[in-house]
Structure formats: structure tokens, C-alpha cells
Chain A
Amino acid sequence: MAKRSFLIPGVDKRLLIKDSLKTMPDLTRRRFIAGGASLGALTLLTGCDVVDSSSADALLAKISKFNDAVQAYIFNPDALAPTFPESAITKPFPFNAYYELDDAPEVDGEAWKLEVRGLVDNKKSWTLPELTKLPQFTQITRHICVEGWSAIGSWTGTPLRDFLKLIGADTRAKYVWFQCADKDGYNSPLDMRTALHPQTQMTFKFGNEILPRAYGFPMKIRVPTKLGFKNPKYVVSMEVTNDYKGGYWEDQGYNSFSGS
């Protein structure tokens, strides 16, 4: 079952695994611009005194920040991601991570608690039964991966904005920062306006069944207005904060806003 659900339709499995390994964190990753820096230096940086890969890196990082701002500007908090009929659901829905399914976190739902930190009135931790008692809604939306592929899934859970209200979160804060059970401590910040988007969901079910381990049991944050890597799985804590705390992929160069 593991191997089957790992497949993305139309994608060679061997290449996919090779790709996953390629995207494993290593030292060379930090120098991601270096590969094409000479060309970039010659073109984008003519006129600069220092023509090397670090100045290209710095310039690209600056433009990425600018792109963050542009995306935040055009983000419409009322614009809904398209929803689809059940017949449009992608089967099988791909498992996707920078590791194989066998290495995905195995969370004990009984012992699991969602920790709540930061700018909230009620910092109590939540058990899975407590959370799943909250009103839930189903939405069928398209998951778009930063790699370009996409898949349509059916997600059921509680709107994050309802939960944030419930715990008395300061919704004027800039971010909700999620930490996950992955062995590398996957984390990702979500800007508050996106956290309050009506379709942003604390997800407990996929296709009307308890969220499988492949898709983030016991809780995934489903954000149809963001790229896939901004949809954290195996969430163990959320923090309402004004500080930009970075993220697993964001720190390696993926644009932080990454809205869709």
C-alpha cells in the first residue's frame, strides 16, 4: 500500500525517489544559486563591483522579499479557491514529502496533543477528541505543489479562524507558526490574513476517513490559497506571533508567501 500511494500519476517512481533524495537537506543546498551564478552575475549584476554568487544570492533574496510583498498585496481574503465535485478527486491522491512514506511520522493519536502558544488568551493543549468535537466542514479543493503538479482532494475539518477565535488569539498578530512531528522538525509560518481565510482548515479527515498517516495524521493544516509546502502535516503546535520564525523550506529559499 505504501509503495502504491507514493506514486504520482504519470511520474516515474524511480525518478521521484531520486528527486526526493536530491532535495534532502545538505550543505550544497545552501549555495543553491551558485550553479547558475556566473550567468546571473554577468547579466543581472552588470555594473556591480562584486560579481560573485553571494551578491547574486543577496539580490535574488531581495527580489523574493519584494515578491512576498506583491503577493500579500494581491491576496484577496475573500477570494475562494475553486471547489470541485467528488468525481474530480485525484485517485490515488499522491503522498508527497522530502522523505519516503516509511519515514513519515507515526503519531499516536491517543497521546497526541496540540500545543497552543504565543499571543492567545487560552494556552491549553487540545486532545484529538476535543478538537474533532468542533464543527467540521468538507471542501474539495486543488492542492498545488511547488514542483508544478497538482491533485484534487476532499478535506474535512474545522476552519482555522474559528479555532483562533475560540482560543482568543490576537488576530492582529502577523503569523501563525506551525511545528510538526517530522524528524527534522518541519515548521512553517502562515501569515495571519491567510490563517483567517474561510477555507484555511484544521484537517482531520481525508475523503471522509480519518486523515491517513500519509496525509498528516492526526492533523494537517489545509490551505487552498497556498502552495503545498505551506500546508503543514503532523502538526504538534501552533504559535501566534509577530516574529518571522522561518520555516523548513522557506529557510532554504522557497518564497515565504507562496500564495496561489
Chain B
Amino acid sequence: MSSLTVTDDQVGTTRAKVIQPIWVRLMHWTNAVAMILMIMSGWQIYNASPLFDFRFSHDVTLGGWLGGALLWHFAAMWLLMVNGLAYLITGFATGRFARKLLPITPAGVIHDVKAALTFKLSHDDLSVYNYVQRTLYAGIILVGVLIVLSGLSMWKPVQLHWLVMLFGDYPTARYVHFFCMAAICAFLVVHVLLALLVPKSLRAMIIGR
């Protein structure tokens, strides 16, 4: 992960205010790596016994076959869980979640969705998230928690039977896991598209300002 910290030397200069603190950037890119590994290996696992009438192309899957994909999935799982847990704890403890993501009001969301769709949403101050961002970021954190919980209940349906019960039963947990993946993929498309439309937000997530 050393490549993720090459910009550390730029932290500490005081020319511009830090928009994304170092821990957010580190965890963000660690999460990006973990998520991509999980999604690509997950697609290969899905192909072994598809829930729907389609399979993922071999070009976008990881692991070569079911066994290889499972090895990737259960390796990246640790990266995702440890990083995700650290992110949740730090996010709550530092007050970042409360500061950045709250409040979320229906009126605010409607206003900003309209503004976004007519390309009138302002991105002048990157340190303040608009209501669309707040909703998406808070939502994706919840989906992240849900995909880990449904994944754990599929991994250990006997030992973690109480967790399976939260979802109803084992097959339901499988569907929940799939739809969370789909939600994350949809989020990724929007997320990456917006980052490309507003390049300074990508810059902030790389060098912090």
C-alpha cells in the first residue's frame, strides 16, 4: 500500500485548507482496492450458480474459476472489513460523519437533485457536501455495512445463525448480498462520473486539497 502514501510529503504545507484528511484518503483508496477485488471475484463466484438469467463476462471477473475467486474474495474480505471498521470508528469518533453528512432533509435532497440534473449544483466549496452527496455517501455506508453482514451470514450460516435470522434465511441473505453489490456498482458509476466532471474533487481525494 506504499503507493497510496506518496503524497504524504505534501501534507503539512499550509497554502490551502485540507479538504480530505490523510486518514480519509488512505481509507478511501484502500476501500477502492478492496471493493474492486471483492466485486470482481464476487462476480466469478456468482457465475458458479447464478441467481438470475445472466453471467458476468470472464473479462471482468477475478480468480479464473470458482476456487480461485473464493480465495480472492476471502482474502480481500479482511482488507474490506478491517478498513471498513476503522473507517466507521474514526468517522463517528472524529465527528466527521455528523459534520459532513448531517442533516439530510427531504427538501434539501429534492432541491439539490433538481440542481444537479440541470447542472446548476455548485462545487465551489468542496469541504461542504451537498444533499445529493450526503444522501449517496450516507446510503453507501449503510449498504457497505449490509453487504458485510449478509456476506458474513453466507460465509458462516451455522456459526452466525443469529445473523442469518436477521435476513430471514440463507437464500435471502444471498439476494441481499447481490443487491448490495448492484447498489455499490451503481454508486461507483455515478461516483466516478462525478469525480471526472469535477476533477478538483478527485485531486482533493488524492493530495488532500
* Beta-carbon contact of B63 and A75 below 8 Å: no
- The contact of B158 among A8, A40, A81, A253, by CB within 8 Å, is A81
A75 contacts across to B, CB distance below 8 A: 159
Beta-carbon contacts under 8 Å, B1-59 to A: 1-3, 33, 36-37, 40-41, 45-46, 48-50, 53, 55, 58
Bound form: Cα–Cα A190–B51 in Å: 30
B111 at the interface (CB under 8 A from A): no
Beta-carbon contacts under 8 Å, B109-167 to A: 154, 156-159, 161
**B130 → A minimal CB distance (Å):** 31
A43 at the interface (CB under 8 A from B): yes
Mark each residue of chain A from 1 to 42: 1 if its CB lies under 8 Å from any CB of chain B, else 0.
000000010011001000100110000110111111001100
A12 contacts across to B, CB distance below 8 A: 53
B97 at the interface (CB under 8 A from A): no
A105 at the interface (CB under 8 A from B): no
B74 at the interface (CB under 8 A from A): yes
A146 at the interface (CB under 8 A from B): yes
* Beta-carbon contact of A23 and B70 below 8 Å: no
When C-beta atoms are compared, the residue in chain B nearest to A81 turns out to be B158
* Beta-carbon contact of B174 and A148 below 8 Å: yes
Instruction: Name the interface size band of chain A.
Output: 35 or more
A111 at the interface (CB under 8 A from B): no
B87 at the interface (CB under 8 A from A): no
Bound form: Cα–Cα A74–B156 in Å: 9
- The contact of A32 among B37, B55, B64, B75, by CB within 8 Å, is B64
- The contact of B161 among A23, A60, A82, A249, by CB within 8 Å, is A82
Bound form: Cα–Cα A65–B61 in Å: 23
**A149 → B minimal CB distance (Å):** 4
Mark each residue of chain A from 53 to 83: 1 if its CB lies under 8 Å from any CB of chain B, else 0.
0000001110110010001001110011110
Interface residues of B (CB under 8 A from A): 1-3, 33, 36-37, 40-41, 45-46, 48-50, 53, 55, 58, 61-68, 70-72, 74-75, 78, 154, 156-159, 161, 170-171, 174
